[in-house]
């Protein structure tokens, strides 16, 4: 009964949240967890609930194993950092090159959201002098992007999902700077909001100039905030499958994203790792829960054809937000 009430509450909240996203630059429209397929921590799955295994001809083409990195700021040869109030009317100011919000520590990448009085740099458009919350968003835009393959991220989620904390592991099409969102395409490998331990996956694109979302799914991972799990995106020209520890929670046939001869899921994407607060989807923020952190042990990208890995120098992505 309690679980049914939580799911009903989530769906009612999300109905209002979807209406808010229409005016956002990159607004995440998300279904409620309609298909919670696992009530306990995932184990090795079998049958139709099993993610595709890594093919023997896959090659590691890019990675950041944070255990091998020196303590300090994230590796600038692999990551850019967004700065400012970026999207979705979120409450946090994303900072750049600030250890309090993004750092390698004890062999892990820490992305930390903080409640504080942060002086906004003078080069930003702003309505206030101080930001009440800070966090970080790491992206491979300007460094690297990929077309097809497998992305594996081993991570532990924050605890405050029902307190306005909104972690996401996702991709955007590199064409965003030229054709905009949602036409560029968005794959939400993982996002969590409002409902604790609920891992959500979604696919967003454009149909006739309007936002379209298809085949999103969810899975309860009961120890998502106490143990590390491996979140995986398997991506081919024909389909995309999202899974955690072998358990599939979303799958889409890419043909569904065809729009007047363009398919965003058949063009390169770059990766984003961020910890958002509140905004159009994250829910009400409880200040008593801070600081909050998402911890990542490693990020790995595999491809069957390494030549399809593309350097991102051919485009310029604006990583400064507007406020």
Domain membership of residue 110 as a residue range? 2-314
Contact criterion met (CB below 8 Å) for 205 and 178:
no
With a cut of 70, say whether residue 319 has pLDDT above it: no
Quote the percentage of the chain above a pLDDT of 90: 73
- For residue 320, what pLDDT is reported? 44
Name the residue with higher pLDDT: 17 or 191. Answer: 191
Reference 149, options 89, 237, 278; nearest CA is 237
Q: Is residue 123 part of a domain?
A: yes
Model confidence over 138-185: pLDDT tens digits? 999 999 999 999 999 999 999 999 999 999 999 999 999 999 999 999
Model confidence over 63-76: pLDDT tens digits? 999 999 999 999 99
Q: What is the DSSP string of 13-25?
A: HHHHHHHHGGGST
Average of per-residue pLDDT across 118-145 = 93
Q: Is residue 180 part of a domain?
A: yes
Q: Is residue 320 part of a domain?
A: no
Average of per-residue pLDDT across 237-265 = 97
Q: Is residue 322 part of a domain?
A: no
- For residue 50, what pLDDT is reported? 66
Q: Is residue 51 part of a domain?
A: yes
Does 112 qualify as catalytic in the annotation? no
pLDDT band at 191 (very low <50, low <70, confident <90, very high): very high
With a cut of 60, say whether residue 200 has pLDDT above it: yes
Given 191, 258, 317, 322, which residue is catalytic? 191
Average of per-residue pLDDT across 253-258 = 98
Q: Degrees (nearest 5) of the Cα angle 118, 124, 130?
A: 25
Q: Is residue 321 part of a domain?
A: no
Q: Is residue 145 part of a domain?
A: yes
With a cut of 60, say whether residue 210 has pLDDT above it: yes
**CATH number of the domain that residue 202 is part of:** 2.60.120.200
pLDDT band at 46 (very low <50, low <70, confident <90, very high): very low
Does 191 qualify as catalytic in the annotation? yes
Model confidence over 17-31: pLDDT tens digits? 333 333 334 444 444
Report the number of distinct structural domains present in the chain. Answer: 1
Given 81, 82, 83, 186, which residue is catalytic? 186
Average of per-residue pLDDT across 195-206 = 98
With a cut of 50, say whether residue 3 has pLDDT above it: no
- For residue 310, what pLDDT is reported? 53
Pairing mode, strands 247-253 and 102-105: unpaired
Average of per-residue pLDDT across 280-308 = 92
User: C-alpha 130: how far from its chain's center?
Assistant: 26
Q: Is residue 107 part of a domain?
A: yes
């Amino acid at each position: 009964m309690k679980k049914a009430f939580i799911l009903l509450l989530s769906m009612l909240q999300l109905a209002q949240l979807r209406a808010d996203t229409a005016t956002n630059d990159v607004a995440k429209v998300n279904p409620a967890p309609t298909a919670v397929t696992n009530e306990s921590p995932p184990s090795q799955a079998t049958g139709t609930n099993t993610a595709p295994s890594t093919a023997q001809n896959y090659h590691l083409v890019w990675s950041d194993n944070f255990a091998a990195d020196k303590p300090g700021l994230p590796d600038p040869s692999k990551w850019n950092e967004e700065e400012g109030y970026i999207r979705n009317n979120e409450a946090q100011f994303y900072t750049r090159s600030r250890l309090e919000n993004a750092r390698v520590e004890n062999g892990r990448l820490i992305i930390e959201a903080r409640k504080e009085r942060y002086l906004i740099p003078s080069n930003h458009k702003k309505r206030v002098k101080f930001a009440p919350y800070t966090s970080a968003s790491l992206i491979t835009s300007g460094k690297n992007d990929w077309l097809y393959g497998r992305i594996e991220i081993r991570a532990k989620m924050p605890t405050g999902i029902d307190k306005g904390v909104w972690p996401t592991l996702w991709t955007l099409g590199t064409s965003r700077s030229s054709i905009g969102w949602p036409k560029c395409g968005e794959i939400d490998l993982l996002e969590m909001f409002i409902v604790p331990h609920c891992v959500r996956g979604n696919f967003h694109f454009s149909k006739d100039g309007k936002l379209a979302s298809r085949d999103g799914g969810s899975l309860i991972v009961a120890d998502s905030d106490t143990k590390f799990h491996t979140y995986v995106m398997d991506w081919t020209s024909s389909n995309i499958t999202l899974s955690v520890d072998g358990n599939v929670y979303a799958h889409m046939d890419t043909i569904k994203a065809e729009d007047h001869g363009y398919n965003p899921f058949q063009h390169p994407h770059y990766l984003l790792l961020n910890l958002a607060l509140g905004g159009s989807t994250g829910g009400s923020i409880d200040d008593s829960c801070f600081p909050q952190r998402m911890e990542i042990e490693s990020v790995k990208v595999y491809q069957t054809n390494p030549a399809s890995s593309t350097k991102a120098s051919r485009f310029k992505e604006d990583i400064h937000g507007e406020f």
